């Protein structure tokens, strides 16, 4: 007899990018050529000093338990990094090491969100925010990010949330933003700090793309007066240093919050392997020139893909302010064929051609406000990006194939026009 799963487990949703990744790999294994623009992974090798330091640490047997907070030298290096890069007033006791940034969403909610608390989430949003808030019984209020505002956070919605929610407690802020590429400006952050300063409001500042800012420069809410006591900022080595498989990140907050995050880390995963942290130290101290070179390449890819998509019929695409994603409005195409944007994405992968496909994600994978958009990652060689661009107009002209796809996959029939 199968034991009944919990209600949480029965309703849990996974990150769609990994579901599409699995389908793309299956199709490739069956012989289909697929350009993979669905996943947010760096195409570059791990930066050199980090890789060498990690190998040396393994050979020196730094492969045992470490402190749940992180190695002292790692915490110091991370604090020095955010001080130097973003003027964040951090010391080593403000830092906690973790396996990337995603795990800290869970720990933030455990630290601050009680059942019935109100949580503001800007939508589209990273897919794991919602299940982590749901685990704690939080009530979610969504604020839509709009293309005509360059996908910047709407502070009027923040003010309304603070005034009207019966129990406001937390805000999730992601800048540079995944999937839209929107940027919270320095003025946005100053205004947000003014709205919440001194109130019982905690902010999760999700900053994995901190080095991928193409318009202006990255600013952290932590640098604003009093915000160290109200914010947890999460950083990762996955994007900037091409270390996604190493699983390394860290949070920055006040020492009191950091101590609590470390306790929660202890109950969940004990520690981050010391050899991984030693690779991270080397990255922060020695790999910034290589990081910057890679970021310049990403910028070129993003600007090229966004401009070329915008030139295609019935596609409206902004040049993102940051991240390595492009988020074009394809609602006109969706309306023409009565297909959802994620249905359009799955058609491009599975049925637009027998021998060739493009893997991307429909915007509704990131919440209702993403409907009518597609998300493309730029983490592929230029020639593959061009192949994808050449293929899209052909795929959109194959009405018979789109109709056949919808007949076989009725869940992708568009029920109502998108409001983008």
Tens of pLDDT, residue by residue over 6-27, are 888 888 877 788 889 899 999 9
Mean pLDDT of 209-236: 96
Domain definitions of the chain by residue range = 7-44+291-396, 48-286
Q: What is the dihedral of CA 316, 172, 288, 292, to 10 degrees?
A: 10
Query: Residue 190: is its pLDDT beyond 80?
Result: yes
User: Which pLDDT value is given to residue 13?
Assistant: 77
Determine the topology of domain 48-286 in CATH: 3.40.640
Encode pLDDT of 238-251 as tens digits.
999 999 999 999 99
Encode pLDDT of 368-404 as tens digits.
999 999 999 998 999 999 999 999 999 999 999 999 9
User: Which pLDDT value is given to residue 289?
Assistant: 97
Pairing, β 202-206 against β 231-236: parallel
Rounded (10°) angle between helices 48-59 and 274-286: 150
Q: Which residues contact 171 (CB under 8 A, 6 or more apart)?
A: 119, 120, 121, 158, 161, 192, 196, 201, 202, 203, 204
**pLDDT band with cut points at 50, 70 and 90 for residue 420:** confident
Mean pLDDT of 184-211: 97
Mean pLDDT of 251-267: 96
Encode pLDDT of 110-168 as tens digits.
999 999 999 999 999 999 999 999 999 999 999 999 999 999 999 999 999 999 999 99
CA–CA separation, 171 and 272 (whole Å): 27
Here the tokens at position 412 are 């992708």
7-44+291-396 and 48-286 share one fold? no
Output the average pLDDT for the chain.
Answer: 96
Hunting for tokens 């900037």 — which residue is that? 240
Q: Which CATH class is domain 7-44+291-396?
A: alpha beta
CB 238 within 8 A of CB 244: yes
Mean pLDDT of 90-100: 97
Nearest to 360 by CA among 2, 23, 114, 46: 23
């Amino acid at each position: 007899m199968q034991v009944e799963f919990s209600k949480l487990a029965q309703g849990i949703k996974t990150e769609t990018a990994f579901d599409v990744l699995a389908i793309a790999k299956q199709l490739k294994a069956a012989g289909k050529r697929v350009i993979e623009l669905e996943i947010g992974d760096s195409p570059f090798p791990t930066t050199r000093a980090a890789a060498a330091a990690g190998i040396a640490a393994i050979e020196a047997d730094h492969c045992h338990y470490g402190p749940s907070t992180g190695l002292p030298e790692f915490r110091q290096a991370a604090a020095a990094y955010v001080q130097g890069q973003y003027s964040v007033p951090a010391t080593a006791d403000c830092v906690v090491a973790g396996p990337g940034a995603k795990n800290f969403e869970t720990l933030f909610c455990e630290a601050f969100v009680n059942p019935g608390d109100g949580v503001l989430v800007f939508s589209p949003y990273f897919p794991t925010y919602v299940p982590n808030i749901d685990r704690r019984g939080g009530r979610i209020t969504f604020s839509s990010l709009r293309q005509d505002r360059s996908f910047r956070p709407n502070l009027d919605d923040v003010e309304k949330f603070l005034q009207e929610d019966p129990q406001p407690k937390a805000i999730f802020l992601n800048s540079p933003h995944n999937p839209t590429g929107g940027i919270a400006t320095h003025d946005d952050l100053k205004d947000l700090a003014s709205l919440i300063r001194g109130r019982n409001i905690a902010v999760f500042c999700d900053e994995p793309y901190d080095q991928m800012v193409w318009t202006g420069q990255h600013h952290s809410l932590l640098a604003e007066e009093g915000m160290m006591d109200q914010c947890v900022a999460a950083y990762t080595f996955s994007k900037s240093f091409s270390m996604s498989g190493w699983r390394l990140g860290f949070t920055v907050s006040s020492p009191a919050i950091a101590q609590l995050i470390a306790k929660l880390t202890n109950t969940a995963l004990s520690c981050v392997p010391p050899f991984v942290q030693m690779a991270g130290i080397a990255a922060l101290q020695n790999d910034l020139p290589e990081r910057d070179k890679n970021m310049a390449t990403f910028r070129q890819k993003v600007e090229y893909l966004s401009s070329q998509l915008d030139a295609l019929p019935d596609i409206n695409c902004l040049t993102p302010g940051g991240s390595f994603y492009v988020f074009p409005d394809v609602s006109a195409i969706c309306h023409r064929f009565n297909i959802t944007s994620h249905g359009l994405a799955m058609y491009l992968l599975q049925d637009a051609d027998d021998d060739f496909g493009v893997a991307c994600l429909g915007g509704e994978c990131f919440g209702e406000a993403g409907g009518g958009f597609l998300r493309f990652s730029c983490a592929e060689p230029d020639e593959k990006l061009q192949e994808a661009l050449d293929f899209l107009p052909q795929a959109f002209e194959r009405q018979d194939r789109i109709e056949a796809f919808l007949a076989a996959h009725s869940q992708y029939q568009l029920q109502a026009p998108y409001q983008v």
